[in-house]
Amino acid sequence: MKKFFTAHPQTVGETYWQHMAVALSFAAALFGAAFAALVHAFFPAWFEKTASAKITSLHQRMVCSRKKQSMSMSKGGGC
């Protein structure tokens, strides 16, 4: 049963608790982006780029930084 909770975090170089903290920080950022998009739907002049900027930032944080870590080990390129 322990492996159920630890297998995936190990694949990204994190403990269960580290992975939980990172995932919760992403969830909070996504809730914020969703709220900005919801407000933007009703008031188009507000939060014009907030949600898309947050998604771009999260992509950079999750995908690109992990690719750079794994590629630096294998001498690959960037994101």
Residue with the larger pLDDT of the pair 25 and 69: 25
pLDDT tens digit sequence for 19-63: 999 999 999 999 999 999 999 999 999 999 999 999 999 999 988
Tokens 């630890």 belong to residue: 6
Residue with the larger pLDDT of the pair 6 and 65: 6
Task: Collect all residues with Cβ–Cβ distance below 8 Å to 34 and sequence separation of at least 6.
Answer: 51
Q: How far apart are CA 45 and CA 57, in angstroms?
A: 21
| Confidence at residue 48, expressed as pLDDT on a 0 to 100 scale | 97
Q: What pTM was estimated for this model as a whole?
A: 0.75
Determine contact, residues 8/19, Cβ cutoff 8 Å.
yes
DSSP state of 63: I
Determine contact, residues 37/49, Cβ cutoff 8 Å.
no
